[in-house]
Amino acid sequence: MINNMELKMTYKIIPTDDLMIRPVLRKRLEKRHAKNKKLRIIDELGLHHGDARVDIAVINGIIHGYEIKSDQDTLLRLPEQIDIYNSVFDKMTLVVGKKHLYEAVKMIPDWWGVILVKADSKGKVVFNTIRKEETNKEQNQLSVAKLLWREEALRILEEIDEAKGFRSKSRDLIYSKLSTVLDQKTLNKKVRETIFFRADWRSESPLMSYGD
């Protein structure tokens, strides 16, 4: 028979860390989107050419970022990350340990989703949705364009007959051109499709297709 002390130890909450959270979160996202015909889940998607990396990005018609702040992390970089994520993602969710929950929620915009993550003494990770994400209305076209590689951005300019005079230009000028000749909706669609079908990607970021 388990006594009260043993029972308490069985359900003791232990501090979370990234290595504990990330694989379980990926499986949760794969299950959540299992009925989608096309899905891509990317670890450490680079933004602003390396200024920041979101922990997990889900591409399935929109780009949804997931930032992990475990109990072992700090919130020192969160303000800078917020500005960058706001400029890029269609939706954004903070996955946060109990240690940082209240402070982090005060820092992030109201449209971000919030998922509380805990782990018991056996290492079982449990997620609890505190707030559902909403659509971002703060995207910046230039920041979205910078999700592309230079060759990808130039190829889109070629497709819309706007590449003349830009084939030998720097990537920054190409991104600037692309962000001005396409409206926000069209640019977002082009960028999502390009990233989704990108062939030369890291091996840990596989393309998954469900159905036709």
Taken in order 8, 126, 111, 204, the sign of the CA dihedral is positive
pLDDT at 22: 95
- Closest to 212 measured CA to CA, from 9, 15, 36, 29: 36
Distance CA 167, CA 178 (A): 12
Q: Quick one: 212 exposed, middle or buried, by C-beta within 10 A (0-12, 13-18, 19+)?
A: exposed
Q: What type of residue is 39?
A: L
Least confidently predicted of 20-29, 75-84, 121-130, 181-190:
121-130
Percent of the chain with pLDDT over 70: 88
At the topology level, CATH places domain 14-131 in Trna Endonuclease; Chain: A, domain 1 (3.40.1350)
Residues 6+ apart with CB under 8 A from 129: 113, 114, 115, 116
- Of 49, 25, 59, 31, which is closest to residue 129 (Cα–Cα)? 25
Question: 131 φ, ψ to 5°?
Answer: -150, 135
**What is the spatial distance between Cα 7 and Cα 13, in angstroms, rounded to a whole number?**
12
Q: What confidence tens digit (pLDDT) does each residue in 5-23 have?
A: 444 444 467 899 999 999 9
Flag whether pLDDT at 40 surpasses 70: yes
DSSP letter (8 states) at residue 37: S
Nearest to 163 by CA among 196, 150, 200, 192: 150
Instruction: Give CA–CA dist 138/100, Å, rounded.
Output: 25
Domain with CATH 3.40.1350.60 in the chain: 14-131
Please tell me what DSSP assigns to residue 100.
Answer: G
Q: Which residue has the tokens 């640019």?
A: 187
Give the integer Cα–Cα distance in Å for 132 and 4: 36
Cα distances (angstroms) measured from residue 7 to each of 1, 10, 13, 38, 138:
10, 5, 12, 44, 48
State the pLDDT at residue 120: 85
pLDDT in tens, 154-200: 999 999 999 999 999 999 999 999 999 999 999 999 999 999 988 76
- First and final CA of the chain: distance in angstroms? 53
